A and B are shown apart, each in its own frame.
Chain A
């Protein structure tokens, strides 16, 4: 029997950035896109596998969720010759030092591919709609707080839900209207 192997090693934030940059076409390789893809990928991964993809931390700012201290991190990476920055454009000069398992890389690549084609303003808009961001910023009233990764459990919409529903329509339960009560938060 062939067993699937999963890496238990988390990517460093630098490796996560390099992983994403190496997947992006040059014209789509910019600070905002990298930040959004990192957040979507990380939170979708957490939601799917119940473990973090990377050591990156995220914060809620007016641009939406971003890698916490991303500017400092990017400047450090440039200093270490891992990336080259030209204004908002970033290009990778290295590959990540850690390899993801085939299962994980397939999942991550799918998320990157799905969201990288979207314009930056749409990526920002989608990121503002995430529960993790709304909760962290108290509906955009408080900026700068770190986003608790446990909130990823709410981000099911980041995943592909294109599977056919397994429910046969005959299995849908009949409703006894005389037994209905109004739903209220308790």
Chain B
């Protein structure tokens, strides 16, 4: 099922704290990227890519698919989950690879 702007975007409350801790320039780019993301999750400037995640792990997470898009030069990325039936997108985390364990 293609991703489009009919999906509602959610994030966990703790995500706001992680967002606040990002460098200012990354925060600014993230907000710009999210504007595109809301209009089209597969907007070309996002370079959205699916993750190869096993069915077992997807079931554990309670989602259908996992994607990511890069915020800036591969250092910072945003990983999000998709639940097609309820048309939900859940921002899982934003940050570089070493920051994922904070979530």
* B-binding residues in A (CB < 8 A): 47-48, 126, 129-131, 153-157, 159, 161, 163, 165-167, 169-177, 179-183, 185
Contacts and interface: CB of A to CB of B under 8 A. Distances in A.
A181 B9 CA distance: 9
Q: How large is the interface on B (under 10, 10 to 19, 20 to 34, 35 or more residues)?
A: 35 or more
Contacts of B33: 154
Interface of B is mostly: mixed
B60 A157 contact: no
Interface in B55-92: 57, 60-63, 66, 68, 70-74, 79, 81, 90-92
Contact of B45 (A129, A165, A183, A185): A129
Contacts, number: 101
6 contacts: A130-B45, A154-B32, A161-B47, A167-B51, A175-B61, A185-B31
Contacts of B91: 183
B46 A161 contact: no
Nearest to B102: A173
B73 A183 contact: no
Interface of B: 8-14, 25, 29, 31-36, 38, 44-47, 49, 51-54, 57, 60-63, 66, 68, 70-74, 79, 81, 90-93, 97, 100-101, 103
